[in-house]
Amino acid sequence: MSSSPATTELAPPGVLGLIGSTPLVEITRIDTGVCRLFVKLESQNPTGSIKDRIALAMIEAAERDGRLQPGGTIIEATAGNTGLGLALVARAKGYKIILVIPDKMAQEKVFHLKALGADCRITRSDVGKGHPEYYQDIAARLATEIPGSFYVNQFCNPDNPTAHERSTGPEIFEQMGGEVDAVVCGVGSGGTLSGLGRYFAKAAPDCEMVLADPEGSILAPYINTGKMGEAGSWAVEGIGEDFVPDICDLSLARRAYAISDRESFQVGRELLLKEGLLGGSSSGTLMAAALRYCRAQTTPKRVVTFLCDSGNKYLSKMYNDFWMVEQGFLDRPRHDDLRDVISRRHDAGEVVTVGPEDTLLTAFKRMRLADISQVPVLGPQGEVQGILDESDVLLRVHNAPERYRDAVRTAMTDKIQTVTPNASLQDLMEIFDRGFVAIVCDGGQFLGLITRTDLLAYLRRKMG
């Protein structure tokens, strides 16, 4: 396996020397047809993504030609991973860094960025190019206002694809013993596709570049039909575009697969279950496209794809069953009654509850841990005795914090609103209007709670 550093002849000191030289692993437990499929674990880079490579390359190129001077400020518009790579390199080299981030990005990434000392400016993700609040336009504007700043602009920066042409491509070629028939990758900025496409056009001219794209992105339809359609929306992070970035040479991709969010998340989860590989949401998209490609072949091929980032950043999303069900990506058995509206079912052990003799502190800690604002209070037979919400606790402790030690029964509301599974949505609305949550019981058996949020999420799933 290669151990060459990502961009320079001599490995940079410290953590920056760990960028690149990522391992390659073969898929062994998922059906790859007549092909052999290998995954390059870009999640092993120091901040957990492929973007560490371009961060180092773009900053070092700017240092070399004087666009970035000591004491300067690095500015970038980023969906997260590039920001993490840049923040790491900026920190290691002593630069300030400002990142403009669209608000749909995973909280975990933003926490990571802030902990790395980055100045994060969160902006709207629902506006496009040309809008004053579009993240790339804000970054460009800041770069004109702040003296000594270097606007990285990964979408137009030629050092981005060059990083892949010089490091990722040669590593793959060496790890594959010089035999690579296809590379499946996604496009965010187009750096990976363009850099690898250029490298393999020389190193292995028969190697096919294959695009894995989220449904809703304009890129796959453009490659497959030559037509530039209207962009939709998608939940997978880091790939898919509503425009073709300057550095992205789509002519290098011979074919493209559009993959739904649902398939991406399901294949990503399968990758963890069967192969033990914890990838981010785009890893599911890339893997799904790679599997379609592999299974469509009639002659054996050696195919490479990527885990572009680590699934650690998405544990509360695609690896969280509640999120998957709420978003409509995971199905549960349907009952065609109010049971379908309950997000957390008591019979499946999913409901956080307290007992009447538990302390208010215990109840409060449970609510915080599960990020909920009320808990049902269950008696010894599992019967609902009441409900406790944050205002009940507050009322009790606001001028006597020691009352956190009091029993839940002293503060709970016992006026509860119980419905059977065959009650109507109108019944729910009336309960909400009176300021309560609905408690669903069937023959005395507690099934779960329904709040306004649960009903909203249910109606959104029904929208299709």
Ligand X SMILES: Cc1ncc(COP(=O)(O)O)c(C=O)c1O
Contact footprint for ligand X (CB under 6 A): 50, 81, 185-193, 238-239, 280, 282, 286, 306, 308-309
Residue 317: CB minimum distance to ligand X, A: 13
Of residues 267 and 449, the one with the C-beta less far from ligand X: 267
Of residues 239 and 318, the one with the C-beta less far from ligand X: 239
Annotated catalytic sites, by residue?
A: 51
Residue 299: CB minimum distance to ligand X, A: 26
**Phi first, then psi: what are they for 361, rounded to 5°?**
-65, -45
Maximum separation of any 2 CA atoms in the chain, in Å: 76
- Euclidean distance between CA atoms 439 and 431, whole angstroms: 10
Closest Cα partner for 280 from 328, 320, 237, 233? 237
Of residues 129 and 332, the one with the C-beta less far from ligand X: 129
Of residues 12 and 188, the one with the C-beta less far from ligand X: 188
Closest Cα partner for 305 from 279, 269, 342, 272? 279
Q: Are 213 and 290 contacting, i.e. CB atoms less than 8 angstroms apart?
A: no
Closest Cα partner for 270 from 279, 261, 257? 279
Of residues 73 and 282, the one with the C-beta less far from ligand X: 282
Residue 333: CB minimum distance to ligand X, A: 33
Residue 161: CB minimum distance to ligand X, A: 8
| Residue with tokens 């028969």, as numbered in its chain | 206
Closest Cα partner for 376 from 339, 417, 338, 341? 417
Q: And the tokens for 271?
A: 């990758």
Residue 378: CB minimum distance to ligand X, A: 43
Of residues 119 and 249, the one with the C-beta less far from ligand X: 249
Residue 261: CB minimum distance to ligand X, A: 14
- Euclidean distance between CA atoms 101 and 111, whole angstroms: 12
Of residues 45 and 149, the one with the C-beta less far from ligand X: 45
Of residues 90 and 248, the one with the C-beta less far from ligand X: 248
Closest Cα partner for 250 from 259, 261, 241? 241
Of residues 239 and 294, the one with the C-beta less far from ligand X: 239
Residue 238: CB minimum distance to ligand X, A: 3
Residue 72: CB minimum distance to ligand X, A: 23
- For residue 167, give every residue at least 6 positions away whose Cβ sits within 8 Å of its Cβ, in sequence order, or none: 4, 5, 6, 7, 20, 53, 57
**Residue least distant from ligand X (Cβ):** 238
Residue 319: CB minimum distance to ligand X, A: 15
